[in-house]
Homo-oligomer: A and B are copies of this chain.
Amino acid sequence: MKLMPAQIEQFHREGYLFFPGLFSRAEMEVLHAEVPKIYAEQRPEIVREKGSDAVRTSFAAHTYNPAFAKLARHPRLVEPAMQILGEEVYMHQFKINGKQAFDGDVWQWHQDYGTWYADDDMPAPRALNVSIFLDDVNEFNGPLYFIPGSHREGRLEAGHDTSTTSYPLWTIDKETITTLVARGGIVAPTGPAGSMLMFHCNLVHGSPSNMSPWHRVIVYLSLCAVGNHIRRFKRPGYIAHRDFRPIRCLPDDCLLRDDIHAELQTKETA
């Protein structure tokens, strides 16, 4: 998979690219079938919603689950990221965000780079997110909200929100959001399971709660240019990885092949 120049230009202008239905239903089913197994595990990587058993986010499944280990090396995800960053990439963070039916809570407006800078000392915003919808995403089950063009503002002042939800986040104040939205509006890309969404690590985004009866699981690969690896190891290794080796991609059909096995990482390299 190779991005065209117009797509790269669009990424730099808008801060994101959307590819509805890039993966097949069959490929998504391979991953979808693994999610309940991951959620059933009792490990520190699994963060639950405030006042509920619903899983909010689950880190580093690619280090212990064979199917997600393949996804973490998938060329349809990794190659466009390398193309945009102009360099080999490593996996800074890998998470499965399960915005569960009825219980899935809000993610306040934020930039991912805000957290990676403040907590992990990532030198520059030379990183991006690649997300894959494991479920159909519609306007009711907690789509991602983007403010187009907001990444061009650079890193914005943020406050550490440790109370709204169960996961602490550096969030952006109301006045700044109002200004950015007046300029760029809000978009909420929706599409079938298998859709891919790439976005700049400084793109301001959030997502609403999910009061619908439809689960909404999205996987995020946070890919960072190898030369831009983090310098501070304050957060656990399963949240901010310390394995800065470039990702080696598997074949494009890896998710559907039983003869391909991705290396699982040990706890130390995760």
Complex CA gap A186/B212 in Å reads 8
**A178 in contact (CB, < 8 A):** yes
Residue of B at shortest CB range from A182?
Answer: B213
Chain A at the B interface: SS class:
loop
**A35 in contact (CB, < 8 A):** no
Residue of B at shortest CB range from A174?
Answer: B102
Extra inter-chain contacts (8) besides given A109-B211, A140-B145, A145-B211, CB under 8 Å: A102-B174, A108-B211, A178-B213, A181-B212, A181-B213, A182-B213, A186-B212, A206-B211
State the copy count for this chain. 2
Q: What are 6 A-B interface contacts by the 8 Å CB criterion?
A: A106-B211, A108-B211, A174-B213, A181-B212, A186-B212, A209-B209
**A28 in contact (CB, < 8 A):** no
Contact of B213 with A177 in the complex, beta carbons under 8 Å: yes
Complex CA gap A139/B188 in Å reads 9
Complex CA gap A72/B186 in Å reads 35
Complex CA gap A102/B101 in Å reads 22
Binary per-residue interface labels of chain A (121-145) against chain B in the complex, 1 for a CB within 8 Å, 0 otherwise: 0000000000000000001100001
* A residues with CB within 8 A of B: 101-102, 106, 108-109, 139-140, 145, 174, 177-178, 181-182, 186, 188, 206, 208-209, 211-213
Query: Of B101, B140, B145, B209, which is within 8 A of A174 by CB?
Result: B101
Within 8 Å CB of A181, what residues of B?
A: 212-213
Complex CA gap A181/B138 in Å reads 14
Q: Shortest beta-carbon distance, A161 to chain B, in Å? A: 12
Within 8 Å CB of A209, what residues of B?
A: 106, 208-209
Contact of B140 with A188 in the complex, beta carbons under 8 Å: yes
Complex CA gap A208/B182 in Å reads 22
Complex CA gap A192/B108 in Å reads 26
Interface centre among A109, A140, A177 (most CB of B within 10 A): A140
Complex CA gap A31/B102 in Å reads 34
Residue of B at shortest CB range from A214?
Answer: B181
Complex CA gap A211/B172 in Å reads 12
Query: Of B108, B109, B206, B208, which is within 8 A of A208 by CB?
Result: B208
Within 8 Å CB of A101, what residues of B?
A: 174, 178
Q: Shortest beta-carbon distance, A45 to chain B, in Å? A: 27
Interface centre among A139, A188, A213 (most CB of B within 10 A): A213
